[in-house]
Amino acid sequence: MTITLPLVLVLGIVTWAAIKFLGIRLWVAVVIGLFGFYLASTFLSPVIDGATRTGVQVVNGTQQK
């Protein structure tokens, strides 16, 4: 059985868990999120996208050789 979850949902759950159980403050999570938006508009965007896709493929076991 295959389950598909959007990456943003997984990251949202991780963020909620970090705030709830690790004591990360909400403003820190917001700053990190805003930093992500900033990085998305820089020259690093293709590198980040490629690394994210590769990481998801490795977790899913679908990495091409």
Domain ranges of the chain: 26-56
Phi, psi of 18 (to 5 degrees): -65, -40
Q: Which value, in Å, is the radius of gyration of the alpha carbons in the chain?
A: 14
Q: Token pair 């705030």 is at which residue?
A: 19
pLDDT at position 39, please? 86
Predicted TM-score of the model (pTM) = 0.67
pLDDT at position 6, please? 87
Rounded to an integer, what distance in angstroms lies between the CA atom of residue 11 and that of residue 6? 9
pLDDT at position 20, please? 93
Rounded to an integer, what distance in angstroms lies between the CA atom of residue 50 and that of residue 45? 9
pLDDT digits (tens, 9 = 90+) for 4-60: 778 888 889 999 999 999 999 999 999 998 898 888 889 988 998 899 889 888 888
What number of other Cβ atoms are within 10 A of residue 6's Cβ?
8
